[in-house]
Amino acid sequence: MSARTSTPSRRIAAVGAVLALIVALVAAGIAIGKSAGGSGKDKPSAADQPAFDPQQPVYDQMEKTTSRRKDGDPLAVGRTDAPVVLVEYADYQCSYCGRFTRETQPELIKKYVDEGVLRIEFRNFPIFGKDSERAARASWAAGQQGRFRQFHDELFAKLRKGDALAEDKLADMAGTAGVKDLDKFRADMNGSDAAAAVKKDQEEGYSLGVQSTPTFLVGGRPLAGAQPMKEFEAAIARAKAVQAARTDDAGKSDK
pLDDT value of residue 220? 95
51 against 225, higher pLDDT: 225
pTM summary value: 0.81
**Mean pLDDT of the 228-233 span:** 96
Three-state secondary-structure class, residue 84: strand
235 against 255, higher pLDDT: 235
pLDDT value of residue 244? 87
19 against 145, higher pLDDT: 145
For the beta carbon of residue 231, count every other beta carbon within 10 angstroms: 22
**Mean pLDDT of the 155-179 span:** 98
Count H helices and E strands in the chain, helices first.
10, 5
Distances in whole angstroms, Cα of residue 86 to Cα of each of 5, 6, 129, 131, 184:
28, 25, 25, 26, 30
119 against 43, higher pLDDT: 119
Q: Per residue in 60-94, pLDDT tens?
A: 899 998 999 999 999 999 999 999 999 999 999 99
Domains of the chain: 32-253 (3.40.30.10)
Q: Is the pLDDT of residue 173 over 60?
A: yes
**Mean pLDDT of the 91-110 span:** 97
17: left (phi over 0), alpha (psi -120 to 50) or beta: alpha
Contacts of 236 (CB under 8 A, 6+ apart): 84, 86, 108, 112, 117, 118, 218, 219
Q: Per residue in 2-59, pLDDT tens?
A: 343 445 454 555 455 545 544 443 343 334 444 445 433 344 455 545 456 788 899 9
Helix axes 56-66, 8-25, angle to 10 degrees: 140
8 A C-beta contact, residue 220 and residue 63:
yes
Q: In 193-203, which positions are buried (b, 16+ CB within 10 angstroms) versus exposed (e)?
A: ebeebbeebbe
209: left (phi over 0), alpha (psi -120 to 50) or beta: left
For the beta carbon of residue 29, count every other beta carbon within 10 angstroms: 16
CA–CA separation, 116 vs 112, rounded Å?
6
**Mean pLDDT of the 197-218 span:** 95
pLDDT value of residue 139? 98
pLDDT value of residue 226? 83
CA–CA separation, 193 vs 189, rounded Å?
8
